[in-house]
Structure 1
Amino acid sequence: MAIYQVGNKWYVDLYVDGRRRRKAIGSRKEAENAQTAIKADVLRGEFKFKRESKVQFEAFAQNYLNHCKTNKKKSWQRDENSIQFLEVHFGGMLLSKITPLDIEDYKTKRINGEIKLKPKPNASRSRTDWKVQPATINRELACLKHMFSLAKKWKMADENPVKEVQFFQERQIEMKILSQEEIGRLLDYTSPRLKPIVIVALNTGLRKGEILHLRWSDIDFDNKFIFLKETKSNRFRKIPMSGLVLETLRALKRDKEFVFTNPRTSRPLSDLQTGFKAACRKAAVGDLRFHDLRHTAATYMVTGGIDLVTVKDILGHATIQMTMRYAHPTPENKRHAVEVLANLFDKNGGKQPGVHSEKLAQDSPDPSSPN
């Protein structure tokens, strides 16, 4: 076994059982460390030649997406969008050659708006600003991390380099809860295509991905239920439909597999951003995210007196602690609380229940007596 330098790279050169292997290592120190580690593995009988995967990133990305679609991973459309940007940077690279440094480089270029997609054919206008929020990049890194986890499982990669990369710190986004007046305005200004989606969101608390991937086969019109399969637990979630949701869905055409589809592709809708932001702007409801419709539905259920266990089941929360986020006091609830106390006094002639006026008189200090 030997180490030597060729150009700027150091190599470890070794023979085991008559087979030769050369491996390029960064610096001389790293090559010496690798040589020591290999010798130790050989002495323990644990050294194995690793076949370097020749799988390119693009090819694996397609396999990954096919796997997600087949196994009904809820976020496959979001992953598909993430992979478009990942391919711009990692395209042409072997999966086995991607390092943490390459991923750090991706982070830097992505947040500076240097990673751009080619304009779509027949696009009315081309995008000029490609800068995105840290949260968007974190979702892309999470997708890449899951890709490498599967690559290891399928013996296409030895390591997951994303584990060595620190994600961006995200700004905590405050939940916005719509008032009833704001809900009315939002529905008034929402386009006919988007309005049924908003109605379903506000009246069920479903996530955007769950709504957009609803199939007609998931809806039981006779018994007024929506059935959702939880990917992780493999269980079904059963969400009751109100009369408004029932009426809204019955009014839609049922000529496609999915309830809400892109008329040009017959695939589930993926981009609600433009139409939703336009409706929010016209309705003057502030910087509202689609996910805030779920927060709004959850809050109204809790403040309406629905027990947390039922709300948890409808929302599909893993723990009751997640549902507890919506059990926050509102000005109306706090006023109602003190009115309940006032009613107790009124029913007892102005006296606190269980306490006699004589007792209060005995316990009260004499204002004329010295302290």
Structure 2
Amino acid sequence: MRLYEKPGSPFWWLDVTLDGHRYRVSTKSPLKKPKREARVAADRIVDQLEQQAKEAAKRAGQAWTISESLTKWWDEHASHTDSADAIWSNIENLDRCLDCSTRVDQLTSAMLMDFRAKRRGELAHRSAKTKKAKERAAQRPLKYVSASTVNRDLAYLQAALRYVKLIHLQPIADLPWSKIKAAENEPRNRFASHEEFDAMQAIDDADLADIILAAVATGLRRGNMRWQWHMIDLRGTSVTIARTKGKLPMVIKLSPPVVAMLKRRRAAALAETGSIPSGADEVFVWRNFKRRWARLQKTLELVDFRWHDLRHTFGTWARKAGVDLPTLKEAMAHKDIKTTQRYAHVEPDEIEGTFDKVAARMAQSAAHSKQKSRKVR
């Protein structure tokens, strides 16, 4: 151990090596004061470093805590994903309602059930930016955190534990996650009927009607509907989406009605401006979209119908047309076929036709039996 003067610093500095690690630390003792005071401060610092080394050695053979595991997962993986902001919010929920000082090999189902109960008892966050929106939110009935929100917290915790087990060989507890997660409501099964779709196409807002036509014909999420003209290939009748929710590019085949609509919009833009729309120009008009969509819902009296239900309309109509689930999975860009299986209950028209044919055959068989019995008499 030695004390030395560091250029530019008004304090004595300590240089010491402990267990093969070299430390250079300021003693915070001014150079103007006697050196013996700096030695006393240095001895105190050495004692602290030795204590920290002992604690680190003691913990070396133990599993990480939940907090350490979440931190490692966040730093090395989660913070680099598109969902980083949302994941950070879930981590804050875990830190607030779960004892994150628990070691990952000592985590129990009872602790997670307590976390689930605590989260379900919290009020749901109401996001509102403007003063009027905050006033409207305050007038709505109070809502508690949903089961799906709590399950998302648990899913990220499970992902973090799996990560530290796979990458850092941490011994995590074996837990029945499927039993721990809260029971959620049945998935939505709302899609537009043909009458509702026809009504949407007949509205006064022609721009919104065109967006709805494209949404139902392609099955794309609203985030992938911000088309620009450079994405459209009218000759090849396709639109190229550079990045879907699954982080993959996708080429969508455009149906004849959508191609005709796009040609009409390009011709209208040409007539209005005197030039063909540039590649960076947006195909659709999205200004005041939420207000226009809310007005459409009110005008057509659409009951429990959301924008995302247009995507469900695509999936349901495709399934009824006889598209099998693996093909529908690729068309809808689902990462997991379990998501596509929500359409498994939809009976294709061919299946319904099969039942009708069997019923007709049964009727013929019954009629033939009656005729045969009359002849025997």
State the TM-score, normalized to the length of structure 1: 0.54
Tell me if 1:297 matches 2:302: no
Q: Could you list the per-position Cα deviations for residues 220-245 of structure 1 after superposition, in whole angstroms to 9, with x for gaps in the alignment? A: 4542223456787x876532012444
Higher helix share: 2
C-alpha distance in 2, partners of 1:175/1:92?
33
C-alpha distance in 2, partners of 1:159/1:190?
59
Tell me if 1:80 matches 2:85: yes
Q: Could you list the per-position Cα deviations for residues 180-200 of structure 1 after superposition, in whole angstroms to 9, with x for gaps in the alignment? A: 111133455697886565333
For 1:33, the equivalent position in structure 2 comes to none
Q: Is the 8 A contact 2:228 2:279 kept in 1?
A: no
Cα displacement (A) at 1:132: 3.9
Cα displacement (A) at 1:111: 2.5
Q: Is the 8 A contact 1:205 1:298 kept in 2?
A: yes
Q: Is the 8 A contact 1:200 1:245 kept in 2?
A: yes
Q: Is the 8 A contact 2:78 2:87 kept in 1?
A: no
For 1:67, the equivalent position in structure 2 comes to 80
C-alpha distance in 2, partners of 1:103/1:283?
45
Q: Is the 8 A contact 1:214 1:260 kept in 2?
A: yes
Q: Is the 8 A contact 2:215 2:311 kept in 1?
A: yes
Q: Is the 8 A contact 1:145 1:163 kept in 2?
A: no
Change (3 A) 1:215 1:361: closer
Tell me if 1:365 matches 2:376: no
Change (3 A) 1:362 1:52: closer
Tell me if 1:171 matches 2:180: no
Query: Which range is displaced more, 186-195 or 164-173?
Result: 186-195
Change (3 A) 1:276 1:339: farther
Change (3 A) 1:161 1:218: farther
Counterparts of 1:223-262 in structure 2, within 5 Å, are: 223-227=236-240, 237-246=250-259, 247=261
Cα displacement (A) at 1:204: 1.3
SS in 2 for 1:141: helix
Q: Which runs of 5 or more structure 1 residues have no equivalent in the other structure? A: 1-17, 25-46, 70-75, 346-351
C-alpha distance in 1, partners of 2:283/2:180?
39
Counterparts of 1:91-130 in structure 2, within 5 Å, are: 97=102, 103-114=112-123, 116=125, 122-126=130-134, 127-128=137-138, 129-130=142-143
For 1:314, the equivalent position in structure 2 comes to 331
Letter in 2 for 1:134: A
Q: Is the 8 A contact 2:69 2:160 kept in 1?
A: no
Q: Could you list the per-position Cα deviations for residues 281-335 of structure 1 after superposition, in whole angstroms to 9, with x for gaps in the alignment? A: 4422322344432332233234446677754542346659838726516799659
Change (3 A) 1:109 1:83: farther
Q: Which runs of 5 or more structure 2 residues have no equivalent in the other structure? A: 1-52, 270-276
Query: Which range is displaced more, 102-111 or 177-186?
Result: 102-111
RMSD, aligned CA: 5.8
Tell me if 1:280 matches 2:297: yes
Change (3 A) 1:322 1:85: closer
For 2:152, the equivalent position in structure 1 comes to 139
Equivalent residue pairs, number: 299
Q: Tell which structure's C-alpha radius of gyration is larger.
A: 2
C-alpha distance in 1, partners of 2:342/2:124?
38
Q: Is the 8 A contact 2:165 2:172 kept in 1?
A: yes
For 1:48, the equivalent position in structure 2 comes to 61
Match of 2:95 among 77, 90, 96: 90
Letter in 1 for 2:183: Q
SS in 1 for 2:373: coil
Change (3 A) 1:326 1:131: same
Q: Could you list the per-position Cα deviations for residues 140-193 of structure 1 after superposition, in whole angstroms to 9, with x for gaps in the alignment? A: 432343344445556497647986571111232352232111113345569788
